[in-house]
Amino acid sequence: ETGVTQSPTHLIKTRGQQVTLRCSSQSGHNTVSWYQQALGQGPQFIFQYYREEENGRGNFPPRFSGLQFPNYSSELNVNALELDDSALYLCASSLGAGEADTQYFGPGTRLTVL
Amino acid sequence: AQSVTQLGSHVSVSEGALVLLRCNYSSSVPPYLFWYVQYPNQGLQLLLKYTSAATLVKGINGFEAEFKKSETSFHLTKPSAHMSDAAEYFCAVSDTGGFKTIFGAGTRLFVKA
């Protein structure tokens, strides 16, 4: 069974650019959540996708957007990058979108904005 | 709104000593609570979760946590620390509706030989 994978591992962008991060969910999982983890902090919830529909969103501006595909893989897009967007971006997949569903995390994408 | 507070950003113990990482939560409804571990340059791994079945929850790698409603706490313990336990630990609560998990700021555990 393949776990959650993310690509790329590292990424360097300049302010104002756009970036796309990718996540492949664990086999059989229909829910993907994205988190932003700034240095020295806990992960902050960005949004969740359940069966290709956005199922909830945290306190992030609209320039953070996402997609979930029929195979349940997912993308996180960030437009007009700002310096504060520098962080580790984690995705997590789960069997469902319930409160008790265990989330399985990928290794993350380290984004640096210069 | 739910929230999580982890007391102590850094905890240092000797190998073989008791590990105690503190977590307090705020929730207006019965919560689902989680402890995750993060090793350097890796994602988060679930240690254990509380889903109201039993107040004492046993997890992987010898860790356990006790849910105390009266104290709104969910502290993580391990009787004997091992060098491989050195990592960042996060306590988390699941929001009602299930789509949002709120994490604490984390506690970095150091284990001295």
List C-alpha distances in Å: A95 to A50, A57, A98, A100, B9: 10, 19, 9, 10, 32
Contact B99 A106 (CB under 8 A): no
Measured in degrees and rounded to the nearest 5, phi and psi for residue B85 equal -80, -10
pLDDT digits (tens, 9 = 90+) for B39-96: 987 889 999 999 877 889 999 999 999 999 899 999 999 999 999 999 999 999 986 6
> What 3-state DSSP class applies to A83?
helix
Task: Determine the residue among A90, A99, A102, A105 to mutate to test chain B binding: the one whose Cβ has the most chain B Cβ atoms within 10 Å.
Answer: A99
- Specify the pLDDT at position A96: 82
Q: What is the pLDDT of residues A22-61, one digit of tens each?
A: 999 998 899 999 999 999 899 999 999 999 999 889 999 9
Query: Terminus-to-terminus CA distance in chain B, angstroms?
Result: 41
Contacts of B46 in chain A (CB under 8 A): 102-104
Distance CA B109, CA B20 (A): 10
Q: Is B40 on the interface with A (CB under 8 A)?
A: no
- Model pLDDT for residues B63-75, shown as the tens digit of each residue: 999 999 899 999 9
Measure the CA–CA gap between B79 and A56, rounded to whole angstroms.
Answer: 39
Residues of A in contact with B98 (CB under 8 A): 97-101
Please state, in angstroms and rounded to a whole number, the distance separating the CA atoms of residues A89 and A85.
Answer: 10
CB pairs under 8 A between A and B: 63
Q: Are B31 and B67 in contact (CB under 8 A)?
A: no
* A94 close to A45: Cβ distance less than 8 angstroms: no
User: pLDDT tens digit string along A59-75?
Assistant: 999 999 999 999 899 99
- Asked if B93 and B34 count as a contact pair (C-beta separation under 8 A), the reply is yes
**Which residues of chain B from 56 to 85 reach within 8 Å of chain A, CB to CB?**
none
